[in-house]
Structure 1
Amino acid sequence: MARWEPNARQRLVVAALDLFTEQGYDDTTVAEIAERAGLTKTTFFRHFPNKREVLFAGQDIHGRLVADGIAGAPEAATPLQAVAAGLDEVTASFTQAQREFGPRLQAVIAGHTELQEREVFKRAHLAAAMTDALRKRGVEELAANLAADLGARAFSRAFTRWVEPANERTFTELARQALDELRNAIRALE
C-alpha cells in the first residue's frame, strides 16, 4: 500500500458504513474497515479513535460552519435568525454522496444503542457550538441555549427529511422549514 492515500478519511467512512450494513456494527472490526478501504489499520487510527467515531466524521467541521454562519448573520438579526444563518452555512456543505448514504447511516444508528447515544452527543455538540456563537453575539445565556436547541432539532429533522428518497428539496430549505415548524410549535404552547 502507498504511504499516502488520497481521500483516506472518506474511504474509511464509506467502507465502515458498507460493512456495518452488510454484517452489522458489532461484527465489524477496524481491520476489516481499513482493508475494505484499501488502507492499513494504522491509517484508520490516524483518522478515528475507534469504529464508532467513523460514523460521526465531520462533527467538528459542522460545529465550526454553524458558528461561522451565526457570526456572519446581520448585526440586527434575532437569535433565531442568526441560527437560521448558521443552519444555512452548515447544510450547504453537505454533498449528494452524504445524502445517498444517509438512510443507511440512520439504519445502522437506529439498530445500536451505543450509536444512538453517540448521535445524541453529536446533536448536543452542534447545539453547544450554536450557543457559543450566539453568546459571542451578546445573546443572553438562556435565550442562546433555547435558540441553539431549536437549531439542533431543526438540523436533525431536516436531515431525516433530506435523505428520504422521494425528497426533492435542498437540505437548507428543509432546515429553514423545520426551524419555522419549531417556532410555530412554541407559539402553540402559549
Structure 2
Amino acid sequence: MSDQQRTTRPRGYEMRKRAEDVGRTRQRIIEAAVHLHGTVGPASTSIAAIADRAGVTRLTVYRHFPDESALFAACSGHWLSRQELPRPEAWSAFDSPVERLTAGLTDLYRFYRAGEQMLALVIRDVHAVPQAIREARERMNRRYVEVLAGAWPDADADADAPVRRAVIGHAAAFTTWRSLCREQGLTDDEAVELMVVLVAAVGTTS
C-alpha cells in the first residue's frame, strides 16, 4: 500500500463519518420541530425549544437552517412523508360527479382524521406559518376543489358552478370535517354522505 493510499483512505472515512454525523444532527432537529409543531403548535415552538429537544445548541440549529422558512419546509416535508396523502389523481378516475365527490371526500376525511392533531395546530397558528408554506397548502386545497368540481358537466359554463364550487370547497375543508365529526359526532361516512347530498342539491331548487 502506498503512502498516498494510507493517508487518503482514513481521510475519506473521516469525511463520510462527518457527513453522517451532520445528517443525523439535521434529522434530530427536524424531528424535534415536528414533535413541537404537533404538540404545542408552530406559534409556541421556539428555536431554543427545538435545540433543547434535539440536544444541540441554537447555533447548530441556525447552522443547518438559516431561517424559519427553511426549517418549516423541512419539518413539513418530513411530516407529510409519513402520511398517506390524499390522491386527487385517483378521484379523477370517477366520471360520475357524485361518485367522484364521494371518493374524494372519503379520502380527504381519512387524511384529516389521521393527521388531525398536527393539522389543527397548524391551522390555529397559521399566522406563524411562513408564507411559502401557506401558499403551497392553498394551492393543494384549490387542486382538491378543482378535481372534485370538474366532474360536473359544463362546470365552467353552468350558472350554478360558482355556488357549487363554494359548497365543494366548504365540504373539502379540514374545519368542516372537524366540525361535523368531532363537534357534532358524525362518523366520517355520515359526514361524507351529508356533504354529497348538500353539493348535489345545488341548483335543484331554483
Identify which of 163, 173, 188 aligns with 2:190.
173
Matched residue SS, 1:169: coil
- 1:82 matched residue in structure 2: 100
Return the alpha-carbon distance in structure 1 between the equivalents of residues 74 and 166 of structure 2: 23
Q: RMSD over aligned Cα, in angstroms?
A: 5.0
- CA deviation vs aligned residue, 1:33-77 (integer Å, no higher than 9, x gap): 3653668747779xx734378569549974x51331x2232x4x1
Identify which of 70, 88, 111 aligns with 1:49.
70
Match status 1:161 vs 2:179: yes
Identify which of 120, 143, 160 aligns with 1:128.
143
- 1:13 matched residue in structure 2: 34
Name the aligned partner's letter for residue 34 of structure 2. Answer: V
Change (3 A) 1:20 1:2: same
- 1:66 matched residue in structure 2: 88
TM-score (norm 2): 0.52
Deviation of the 1:154 alpha carbon: 0.5
Deviation of the 1:83 alpha carbon: 2.3
Return the alpha-carbon distance in structure 1 between the equivalents of residues 196 and 54 of structure 2: 37
Return the alpha-carbon distance in structure 2 between the equivalents of residues 172 and 2 of structure 1: 46
Equivalent pairs counted in the alignment come to: 173
Matched residue SS, 1:92: helix
- 1:99 matched residue in structure 2: 116
- CA deviation vs aligned residue, 1:67-100 (integer Å, no higher than 9, x gap): 31x2232x4x12x43122112123223445x334
Change (3 A) 1:150 1:99: same
The share of aligned pairs that are identical, in percent, is 10
- CA deviation vs aligned residue, 1:86-140 (integer Å, no higher than 9, x gap): 12123223445x334554444323xx286799657634422324525775x7954
Name the aligned partner's letter for residue 71 of structure 1. Answer: S
- 1:142 matched residue in structure 2: 156
Which entry has the higher C-alpha Rg, 1 or 2? 2
TM-score (norm 1): 0.55
Q: Is the 8 A contact 2:145 2:165 kept in 1?
A: yes
Residue ranges of structure 1 left out of the alignment (5+ in a row): none
Residue ranges of structure 2 left out of the alignment (5+ in a row): 1-20
